[in-house]
Structure 1
Amino acid sequence: MFLIAASAKGFAAAPASIVEQLQTQRQAFAQDNKLDLRLFSQEVQVVVRDANALDQAGNDADAVARLQTLKKFAPLTQFPSLDVQMLCDRLYTKLSQASDAAGCRDRAAAMAEILQRRSGSGATPDDPVRVITISEIGEWTRSQAAKISDVSAYPYHDQNLQAITYTSPATAGKPAVAYFQFTPRLYASLNNTVSDVFAPLPVSPNDGKYQIALAQAHEQRVKFLNDLSFDYPELIRLCDGTTREAMQLAQRGDFNAALSKLGEVERIRPIREIPIYTFISTYSYLLGKAGNVDAQSNARLFLFGITQDIAHSGNGLTPENAVHVIATSEEYAWVNAKKMRVIKQGLIQKGDRRYDMIVAVQENGSVQTYYFEVSQVYAREGEELK
């Protein structure tokens, strides 16, 4: 990567059409449910490293061929990566392919424009640089001819930012800090090993369909509890029963039968109108196992909205910051996702509100009490007693 870094000292103005083209492809990557952004980032870095090594060994044509393997994601002429386009420029220049080199140079300038001016200034936590791949942080610093001296997590409001301390010609050699924000999907992918799906992600209008998914899930969950046209207790029993039987069928490898079993809930309410985490999570899993890729992508987006609506409702540490649920199964899913064990549970009332209080043991052995807002759940569960 040294040769790439050494040449990243200045860029000519990029044609607006190329900037928009790369920005469109960049956003397509950010919103592609089928693309694991962590693995994608790693593969791009490996390809650039390999192509750079081939170049240094004098195998320029092979280096170009290695870069061209990225076309499974997008054509090289549309690939939104500063590192890829700068290396491409150098390789085609050495191969005396001036027109191709000029195209890469324009795209490198366009990516510098996107990272430096179109994705946030990075100057404050309120205006971080919004990146869609891990490597874009490095590309940003290379576009600034900057040297990084420190990288640290920077929690800010409900966002998890990265704070980068650096020096560059623009800072006259003095240390400065730039702030970076991962897209929700990249952040979720990076934290996949933790599996806390209820960790609040920084979802904003800039996140397109993810922000829409969150807003729609919230609206559906409010509507679900307020809709008196269906028998809530009966639907909850049916969801629990079909989920249990569907997973038994799945364990025997009969995923289509499992989906059919889950579909029995539709005699009361359509699946897409049951925004309960535990139920939709099972539905998404079974769609994937049955090979229904497109349907699973839609279900996963729905599930993202549900989990983030729960995550943003409160941290559960006080009744005033209670986690809002629409079924008690979500309480246990929330506790399990945070790798805690329930040791006590009770129902409390504060004013006209009701809360499930759960005492749980955390991984470090400490005990913490959490509160879940269940006022409407309690009222709906009492329907069968009327």
Structure 2
Amino acid sequence: MGRPIPAPSSTRISEPSLSQVPTCTEVAITNCVDESLNRSYGESVKESLQKLRYYSFIVTDPHLPGHPIVYASEGFLHMTGYLPEEVMGRNPRLLQGPDTDRRSVLQIRDAICEEKPCHVVLLNYTKQGWPFRIVFHMAPIFSQADGQLLHFVGAQRPLADCLSKRVWHCEASLLGLHKGPSAFLGPKSCTDSINSCLKGHQLSDSCLNYQHSGQRKKKLKVASAILQLVVHELVTSNKLMSDEALCGRCSSEKVETALCSSLTLALTRIQQSFVISDAKLPGMPVAYASDMFLHLTGYQKHEVIGRSCKFLHGQDTDACAVEQIRDAIRDDRACTVRILNYRKNGSPFWNLLHVAPVRDHTAKVVYYVGVQLHLGFPLGEGFLVSGNATPAMLQLGAVGAVKVAVRSLQGRGLCRSSS
């Protein structure tokens, strides 16, 4: 293949700008692009992909308008001549030009619609308008939790021998890796699909006449190996995040079922705003929340159970009050504090909080009960809440009722049997 000739600017296909993407503002789509990977793989995924920065690959999000690029490796930017801000949020078709094979483009589009891998030889153009041919491998990434489509990965390998020594060294090790175990793409597809795609589709003769068979096969293997490495990093990150979420849900369910039905029934009769935290579990997660607590804070039951009560804290919550509560819990004693808490909608409210330990029949602390009273105005001495009952009387009454309900259950009756 001879020296590439720059394509005339008048014949270049126009590229859609961010203003043509059907979104409200450029800021909005930028935020969506930035959060695309974090939402599916966690905040550390970009560090994982940085290990593969010398290879040329991109990650696109089919759920965002225009199916834009949400990650581009250094190798891709070096090969195409673009800066990161010039490709992020844009569709990969910005690389297409007047001589790009439309059949190859349609093959890629069909694979995207069918959520399956594909590979083609494609003529792309650099930012400066210089044409170059690549072996392009693409594969979908599916969620490890529910099998839903997350992203597409596109790996490129230029057919022209214009790579740096560093990249050549990296690709030499890839050829050995390509023969090893494949990385799973997800429940709906795996790398075997890529291999079958390689065997089932033949590249057009016009695209291959200028390359020797041995060189072509080597570049195909390299591109496929790059794809597998990227897919492996994304799938591993998604699986870790899914496992953490599942573990969190299991902990929440474990906390919620720790209270037997008879105890739960007894607690529903207490008409106060209160929560019960499990002292036996790390972080003391909430095991029970009364209906009045949910009404006061605006949360729903599933949003509270299994979480530490610190989710009520906000930017103006007094750290001294929080430390006072921690000291009381550490010493297994009761305390009362006036603390600024926040509802689900972000609105603050002053809370007269009474925290007290709850012991079982062996005198061991098994729970902590926190009783809340909403203070609409500064608390004065002798402030009455209902009838002749002072806040202290109401809170002590609620704590006493919880203690009676817990201690009335003998031994293992406190929890459901593990069998």
* TM-score normalised by L of structure 2: 0.23
Q: Give the structure with the larger strand fraction.
A: 2
Larger radius of gyration between Structure 1 and Structure 2: 2
Q: Give the structure with the larger helix fraction.
A: 1
* TM-score normalised by L of structure 1: 0.24
